[in-house]
Structures are given as structure tokens and as C-alpha cells.
């Protein structure tokens, strides 16, 4: 198990599913191989992009094993263990604690409203249960009833050793800067700060963050590696140009408006349709109860890929998506 905090481009890998809604291990292996070949610095299994809230515990375990097998020790693998309360998170931690992972990623508890002291206690209890396991805090207020990890919370937990890093998906560059400045003030040089906002990576790296966790990295991992390398080398013009191209590629998440789809269904459906078109996975299925992208939507996704300089694989034949939840038939 790696004890070195993970920096750089850490892709929150999609969880490929077959038309029956089961984890497609072969496609997970294929996608992880794409990411390794692109030069990413790590993968994060069972994040938001990995559809963790919609998977059973057995499916979670299968996704983790498939990703670890494909990574084969070449890059670090982080595993999401988020859940509604500390005991449930501890069950997920126990399931992966003896695997060769680089750490676990934990949100604040969700569903129940929690206070700052309760959130701190959540992370302390996890660290106390498995002190040898690296814990990364995941800041994503819209997904956890608006609960937010303040800079004071983050730095207190970092000083205690309860967390080794932070993935900040708050979308606030001001919050990121506050974290970076306070880290410097407290001389917490080994504490890792990663942005989850793939549209402002160039700015975040200039502020001083250590990397990015981009859902869009499933589609164009090499683009994010180029962006990261350019920014780290001080080539700000090249970094900005790559970021602007990726910004336009992100338009795929707005496709799907002709069906009654939620924002998550559109974004995750677009990521999977794009990766399928590029030859990374066999099916574009998303987990129930998500409405699936239709063929016209997929054609629109492919058009955006081409505008961004990504040519679909001639061997990728988009398959019709079955509808295990019966949502399309019910419209």
C-alpha cells in the first residue's frame, strides 16, 4: 500500500455496466488501461463519476477488484467509501483495508444534517479505526446536504493526521486559495490539495493545488496530463490553451435535454457514451434509475468529441441500451 500522498491527474474512473446493470469487469480493465497509457498519476474508484450511490456493496467490491487488477500496481488506486453515517463508512473501509490501495476518499456524512464538530468526529473515528490507511477528505457540499468542510476543519484534521489530503469539488477558487494559504502558514507541506473542478484546472494549479480529479478525464485523460505538465513547467499559455479545449469538450454534459434526464444522468451518460465511442468500454449504460442517452444524443456527443480533436474508434460500435428500470418505456 502506497504511503506517498497522490498528486497530479487522478481520474475518478467511471464504473462500466452491462445492459443488465452489472459491473462490466472487462470494460473496467480496458478503461483503466486507457488511463494508464495516457499517463495519469492515479485513479479514484467509486467517486461520484463512478456512480457509487447507485451500486450495491457487491458491485462496489467488484468494481474495486477490477480496477486494482487492471492497474496492477502501476499507478495508485484510491477508493471511495462515502456513505450516510460513520458506521456504514467503517463497513466500507473494512472491506478494502487489506487491499493494495493508496487510500480511501470520504465525504461528510449525508442525508442527516451535521455540524462541524460532528464532521470532524466522523473523520477522526475513521482514522482511529484504521490508522495505517490514508484518508482523503472529499468536499462536495451539494451532494452532502450542503455540509462543508471549512478551512479550519481541514487543517485541524490534517494536523492531527486524520486526513492526508483533500479533494475540493466546492467550485470555489477562493476556498481553494484559502486552503493553500493556510496550509503554507501551518507548514503542512505534505498535505495534498486536489481540485475537483475540471474547468479551472489551470487557475487552480497557479494558486498552488497539487492536482486535479476530473470526471472529464475519463474521456480525454491525455489532455489533462498535458494541461498539468504545462502548468507545472510554467508554460501558462499552453496550459490555458489546453484548458480552453477541455472546457469546450465539457459541453457533452449538457446533451440529453430531449429526454426527462437529471443533471447526473446527462453528465454520466455523456461520459460513458464518449468513452464507448472512443473504444474504452463496451456499453454506455448508467445505473438505475437514470434515464439513458438516446441515439441522437450519442451522435451529438460524438460531434463534440470530433470538434475537440478526439476521433472515435472505428472498432467501437455503439450498442443499443436496454432499460432495466423501464423508464424509457414509461415516458
- Hey, which bits of the chain come out as E strands? 8-12, 42-45, 77-80, 103-107, 135-139, 165-168, 192-195, 211-212
The CA radius of gyration of the chain, in Å to the nearest whole number, is 19
Active-site residue flag, 167: yes
Cis check for the bond before 281: say yes or no (omega within 30 of 0).
no
CA dist 325 and 253 (Å) reads 22
272 is annotated as an active-site residue: no
- The answer to the question of whether 89 is labelled as a binding residue is no
- Which of the residues 136, 138, 228, 272 is marked catalytic? 138
Cell 453515517, located at residue: 85
Backbone angles phi, psi at 143, to 5 degrees: -90, -10
The answer to whether 49 is annotated as binding is yes
Q: Could you give the CA distance from residue 125 to residue 162 in angstroms, rounded to a whole number?
A: 9
- Point out the catalytic residue in the list 136, 167, 228, 272: 167
CA 67 to chain centre: 14
Judge if the upstream peptide bond of residue 156 is cis by omega within 30 degrees of 0. Answer: no
Are the C-beta atoms of residues 213 and 195 closer than 8 Å to each other?
A: yes
Distance CA 276, CA 299 (A): 12
Helix (H, G, I), strand (E, B) or coil at 168: strand
Q: Per the structure block, which three cell numbers stand in for 312? A: 472515435
Residues of each annotated binding site for pyruvate: 49, 213
Q: Which residues are tagged catalytic? A: 138, 167
Amino acid at each position: 500500500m502506497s504511503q506517498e500522498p497522490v498528486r497530479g491527474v487522478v481520474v475518478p474512473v467511471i464504473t462500466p455496466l452491462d445492459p443488465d446493470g452489472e459491473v462490466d469487469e472487462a470494460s473496467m480493465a480496458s478503461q483503466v488501461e486507457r488511463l494508464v497509457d495516457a499517463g495519469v498519476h492515479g485513479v479514484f474508484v467509486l467517486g461520484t463519476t463512478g456512480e457509487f450511490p447507485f451500486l450495491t456493496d457487491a458491485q462496489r467490491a467488484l468494481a474495486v477488484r477490477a480496477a486494482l487488477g487492471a492497474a496492477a500496481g502501476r499507478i495508485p488506486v484510491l477508493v471511495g467509501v462515502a456513505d450516510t453515517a460513520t458506521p456504514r463508512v467503517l463497513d466500507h473501509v473494512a472491506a478494502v483495508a487489506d487491499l493494495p490501495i493508496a487510500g480511501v476518499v470520504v465525504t461528510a456524512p449525508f442525508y442527516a444534517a451535521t455540524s462541524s464538530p460532528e464532521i470532524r468526529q466522523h473523520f477522526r473515528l475513521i482514522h482511529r479505526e484504521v490508522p495505517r490507511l490514508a484518508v482523503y477528505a472529499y468536499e462536495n457540499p451539494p451532494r452532502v446536504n450542503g455540509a462543508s468542510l471549512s478551512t479550519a476543519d481541514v487543517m485541524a484534521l490534517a494536523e492531527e493526521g486524520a486526513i492526508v489530503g483533500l479533494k475540493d469539488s466546492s467550485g470555489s477558487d477562493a476556498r481553494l486559495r484559502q486552503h493553500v494559504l493556510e496550509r503554507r502558514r501551518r507548514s503542512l507541506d505534505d498535505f495534498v490539495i486536489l481540485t475537483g473542478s475540471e474547468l479551472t484546472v489551470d487557475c487552480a494549479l497557479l494558486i498552488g493545488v497539487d492536482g486535479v480529479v476530473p470526471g472529464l478525464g475519463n474521456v480525454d485523460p491525455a489532455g489533462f496530463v498535458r494541461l498539468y505538465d504545462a502548468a507545472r513547467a510554467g508554460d501558462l499559455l499552453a496550459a490555458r490553451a489546453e484548458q480552453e479545449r477541455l472546457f469546450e469538450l465539457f459541453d457533452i454534459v449538457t446533451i440529453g435535454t430531449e429526454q426527462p434526464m437529471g443533471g447526473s444522468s446527462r453528465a454520466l451518460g455523456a461520459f460513458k457514451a464518449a468513452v464507448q465511442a472512443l473504444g474504452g468500454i463496451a456499453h454506455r449504460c448508467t445505473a438505475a434509475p437514470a434515464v439513458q442517452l438516446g441515439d441522437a444524443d450519442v451522435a451529438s456527443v460524438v460531434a463534440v468529441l470530433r470538434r475537440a480533436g478526439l476521433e472515435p474508434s472505428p472498432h467501437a460500435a455503439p450498442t443499443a441500451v436496454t432499460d432495466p428500470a423501464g423508464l424509457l418505456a414509461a415516458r
